[in-house]
Amino acid sequence: MPYVLHATLARDVVFLWLERPPDLAELNKHLRGEWASAKEPSYALSTNTTPTYPFQPLSAKRDEVEGIFRRLLTAAGVFFPPELASAPLWLPTYKQCPLPAKLIDGGQPPTHLTPRLHAWTVIGQYITMVDAALFFLAIPSLWENFADIEMGYDLAFWASLAQYAAVLLAGGRVLPTTRLAPQGNITAAWEPILDQKEQLRCAMFARHMPLVCRAAQHLHSDGALLPAEDACEAILRGMVDGQMRICLQARSANDGQPTRLSSPYQLWLQALQATNPALPLPSAAAMKWHLHLAEWRARAEMVRELPVRLVWQVYEPSTEEDETWTLSPFLEDVTDPSSRFPLSAISEIASELPSGFKTISATRCREILRYALAYSPMLHGRIDCDALTSATCTTDELLTFLRDEAPTLIAAGFGVYFPTWWEEATQRRTLTVSGAIRQPTGEEATLTYDALLEVDWQLALGDETITLRELETLAALKSPLVRWRGRWARLDQQALQHGLALIRRRRKTTFTQMLQIFLDQERTPVPGVQEEWISQGSIDELMGYLRGHQKIKELPPPPGLNATLRPYQQRGVNWLFFLTEHGLSPLLADSMGLGKTVQALALLQYQRARPNSGPFLVVTTTSSVTNWQQEAQRFCNLNPLIHHGQRRHREDLWQAALRHELVVTSYQVLLRDVELLRQIPWQGVILDEAHQVKNHGTKQARAARALNARYRLALTGTPVENSALDIHAIESFLNPGLLGSQEAFRQRFILPMQRDDDDAKHELQQLLAPFILRRLKTDPEIAPELPPKIEEIEYCTLTTEQAGIYAGILQHMEETLADTDPFKRQGAVFRLIQRLKQCCNHPAHYLKERSPLPRRSGKLLRLEELLADALAEDQRILVFTQFADWGKTLQPYLAERFGEEVLFFAGHSTRKQRAEMVERFEHEEQGPRIFLISLKAGGNALNLVRASTVIHYDRWWTKAAEDQATDRAHRIGQTKTVHVHTLVCAGTLEQRIADLIDGKQRLADDIIVSNEHDLEKLSIDQLRDLLALQQDSLAAFEPMYLE
């Protein structure tokens, strides 16, 4: 059976206690006198003066009781006192037995009982009235979470009274005062203001007050408890005072450090919001302040009981040149506000006044006026109470009065009236700043990211149109209340100043800044200012697209293109054309193998058809230069100029570019010839494999940004490899300034996304969506005929030799890094990782020796098995490794092992050699079937759809790089299922890399470790844990490599 929680008033605190319901059948027998023997029940009254109340948890359950109170008070946000306490409660007692509290207040006891009051000792918890105010307000929301506790009727009463106190506070029906305690000390207090209606409500509360609520009060001389009316008043005052202190303490916590207080008034204000209500003054000074407040309160009650009230009428200046406002005092009938007379004329027209005014003498008028002036420092020094005169003030003084003093006067029962136009004049007028962007014409019609746009401004204040000169004039007045267009108006000066600053800042707006405005990148909302933008022509089309309202037009097939585009490719070309025609540079991020090159060439065909079209530049990787040359010849009948090699054009590059129309170069040549290439006004610059510029500060990225072009285009299947900063770097090339500075981008997006802020991620996606187009091969409408890709992790086991080398490297690491200078640590850690990877590949790779390779590496053995299976099925195979030196070692070994030619594509291969190798692998019927490729040199921009098996011999740090290499085979044109095998040495660094890669399927900015250089920050212990060899994973497989 659950415990019952009770609450009892104990002077100025609250006593909470638990009741354990008794056995009612046994109790009723006792109450009816049906006991057959002299043995009394266990809960009968003992001989002690204040015996222990029997219906409460046993002393053995003290910890349980403390736990219940701790849970309750903590859930309500109340401080939990350290120890339980006891209190004498005066409860009805019959035949030496107390009546259970639940029986007393849950219904009427049997009529034949005539109990007497007796004190019983009860164990419970004292809480302050401030804490009680918080606790009882929280009860309705708390109780559903405490099924093991039942609420007593008295507790429900406390909660209802707390809610009533909150209603009084919300209505402002409270008054600050002081209270004389029974001990003679003065305390600051908040008391409720109760009119006749509220007093009746309090009387109703008192009639229904459970007896337990006042059971802790001392008995009166007649043996009765504290009257319910007095107890109800004490509880209500306590709830009002406690709730008000809670509100004030919450507000003062946000106001900074308190100021030093000294005057009685300041100390009283401090005591009104402190938890301790004692007035920190000497007793004589405290009593003087108490009497002063009592006198002030008596005057307030006197004014409140009068049939009339004092009001102030505000009169505006009589002329436009005059700024003198007048505030005149009047007396107004409380029951008839239309009956109002000037205070100064009361005595002169006494015979003409209504009956309610005739009892108000001139002396009483001055007394009311003096009382009212105490609420208004401004009026206090301007009105002669003897002459009952009016007050005058300036516009600024009137506004101060309205803001600071008028609300206080109204709350005190006085009134303030304004001219009839005042309500309309004081309505806050929103300043609307509308910028109409002019459509560029003539030579400026072509938009570029740095093009300056002209803006025509249209201004409105509220519903009225104003000119820029009027706005400047109003802002110069620096007053919130001004005479404007023949009438008074209240203006938001801060909004006017912000509006002017906005116009001045936007007077010369670049195309990129305008985009940032439409994308809410540069728009900072200002209260009172509404910023609007109007566009027309092509700019309006672009803005409609950015808002999602404008659809991109369908284009006819590209002129002169020797290819039939797939539907998704034509949509991509439509998108590219739309953005480039509207001054934006797009990022085409289709998955590898979906034809980004042909889409870029199709765009080039549209651009070539324009009159006076200039030359185009393609920057790509060295391995892709030939591919671009062949694709341009095939699809566009172009003979591109290959700006590569020692014989490349230098002196006459501009003329040669005009003849060929298309120039193809590599990133390496771009670095060397950037000063030459940047001088040419390219019609368009295309960055193929644009992730090559993903690092913002590299020379390669800076060189790309230096190129001069009407539009720019970036192509990459891996727009994000390591973090969203990759996108920022690419967009800095495409649309400089659009995403703001790198640091601002990091603060706004990268850091929140690292904290798993989905809102930041969604905001970034929305921001980038108009400028990035990405389709995946897995999208059903893209390439439904593309065969599947099956990926498998092939776990390999280290041989004994490999395991010994691996362990030796780790031991050497600890000895080396312990003494390594912090500035040299990065290089040491990097070399460590490389050595461990080499050990996993093969001992000969790590030892740099030309010793025999067979049966010394679990990974090499698995590679041989996979190659044997694939060759048996006459498949063609791509084998990727990140180590060119290991590829050079593998090539002759595999050729001898399988008795056929093995191609090796690496960075040292010339462009001609690379083209020949690709041609042989792809098109020779009896050509080489094994193509060994360096990941960096050939991991992108190659079409190798003849291969149907891909093997990754060692791991890179990002899945994107491996996927990009895999998609040399898994791309449009592939007709077979592509099997991808990734070799991983179990229990080693490679497995840790695999685990990391598994967590990189989201945006790469969620990566914890993105490359080797992040490991340099780890301690030696952390490195040991990350890189340590797991012996358990070796034991099961080691016998495979033993004779």
Tokens of 79: 């401080």
Residue 129 · residue 86 · CB < 8 Å: no
Q: Which helix (H) or strand (E) holds 825?
A: helix 825-841
Enumerate long-range contacts of 74-78, CB under 8 Å, 24 or more apart.
Answer: 75/138, 75/142, 75/145, 76/134, 76/135, 76/138, 76/139, 76/142, 77/134, 77/138, 78/127, 78/131, 78/134, 78/135
- b/e sequence 27-38, b meaning 16+ C-beta within 10 Å: beebbeeeeeee
Unique residue bearing structure tokens 């459509």? 439
CATH code given to domain 789-1041:
3.40.50.300
Identity (one letter) of the amino acid at 305? E
- Per the DSSP assignment, residues forming a β-bridge with 302 are none
CA angle 788, 790, 794 (to 5 degrees): 170
Alpha helices in 77-211 (DSSP H): 101-106, 129-142, 153-170, 196-207
For 498-551, how does the pLDDT look when each residue is reduced to its tens digit (9 = 90+)? 888 878 877 777 777 777 777 764 455 667 787 777 776 777 777 777 777 678
CA angle 411, 415, 420 (to 5 degrees): 130
Identity (one letter) of the amino acid at 325? W
User: What does the CA dihedral 693, 697, 702, 705 come to, rounded to 10 degrees?
Assistant: 70
Unique residue bearing structure tokens 């790469």? 1004
Q: CA-CA distance, 888 to 907, in Å (whole number)?
A: 11
Q: List the one residue out of 916, 918, 837 whose CA is nearest residue 878.
A: 918
Alpha helices in 560-708 (DSSP H): 567-581, 596-608, 625-636, 653-660, 667-672, 674-677, 699-705
φ, ψ (nearest 5 deg) of residue 10 = -130, 85
Tokens of 413: 């029962």
Question: What is the structure's pLDDT at 227?
Answer: 86
Question: What is the structure's pLDDT at 1?
Answer: 64
Question: What is the structure's pLDDT at 33?
Answer: 54
DSSP code of residue 145? G
Q: CA-CA distance, 946 to 974, in Å (whole number)?
A: 7
Residue 974 · residue 946 · CB < 8 Å: no
Residue 714 · residue 733 · CB < 8 Å: yes
Q: Is the dihedral of CA 582, 588, 594, 600 positive or negative?
A: positive
Q: 925, exposed or middle or buried, with CB in 10 Å at 0-12, 13-18, 19+?
A: exposed
Tokens of 364: 């009483």
- b/e sequence 517-534, b meaning 16+ C-beta within 10 Å: bbbebbeeebebbebebe
Question: Would residue 120 be called left, alpha or beta, if left means φ above 0 and alpha means ψ between -120 and 50 degrees?
Answer: beta
Residue 226 · residue 10 · CB < 8 Å: no
- b/e sequence 890-904, b meaning 16+ C-beta within 10 Å: bbebbbebeeeebbb
CA angle 597, 600, 602 (to 5 degrees): 110
Question: What is the structure's pLDDT at 618?
Answer: 95
Sheet holding 877-881, edge to edge: 789-796, 978-985, 949-952, 877-881, 930-934, 902-905
Tokens of 63: 């910890």
Strands (E), 866-977: 877-881, 902-905, 930-934, 949-952
Q: What is the 3-state secondary structure (H, E, C) of 761-817?
A: HHHHHHHHHHHEECCCCCCCCCCCCCCCEEEEEEEECCCHHHHHHHHHHHHHHHHHH
φ, ψ (nearest 5 deg) of residue 148 = -90, 5
Of how many residues is the chain composed? 1043
Q: CA-CA distance, 558 to 578, in Å (whole number)?
A: 14
Question: What is the structure's pLDDT at 235?
Answer: 92
Tokens of 458: 């249209």
The distance in angstroms from the start CA to the end CA of the chain is 75
Q: What is the pTM of this model?
A: 0.53
CATH code given to domain 567-773:
3.40.50.10810
Q: CA-CA distance, 968 to 631, in Å (whole number)?
A: 16
Q: CA-CA distance, 212 to 89, in Å (whole number)?
A: 8
Q: CA-CA distance, 1000 to 1006, in Å (whole number)?
A: 7
Question: What is the structure's pLDDT at 91?
Answer: 85
Q: Angle formed by the axes of helices 362-373 and 283-305, to 10°?
A: 120
User: In Å, how far from its chain's centre is CA 366?
Assistant: 59
- What residues in the chain have per-residue pLDDT under 70? 1, 24-48, 59-60, 82, 102-115, 182, 218-224, 251-262, 304-305, 347-356, 358-359, 423-428, 439-449, 520-526, 536, 549, 783, 814-826, 939, 941, 996-1043
Residue 425 · residue 490 · CB < 8 Å: yes
Q: Is 863 helix (H, G, I), strand (E, B) or coil?
A: helix
Strands (E), 354-498: 391-393, 415-417, 431-437, 452-453, 455-461, 464-466, 481-484, 487-490
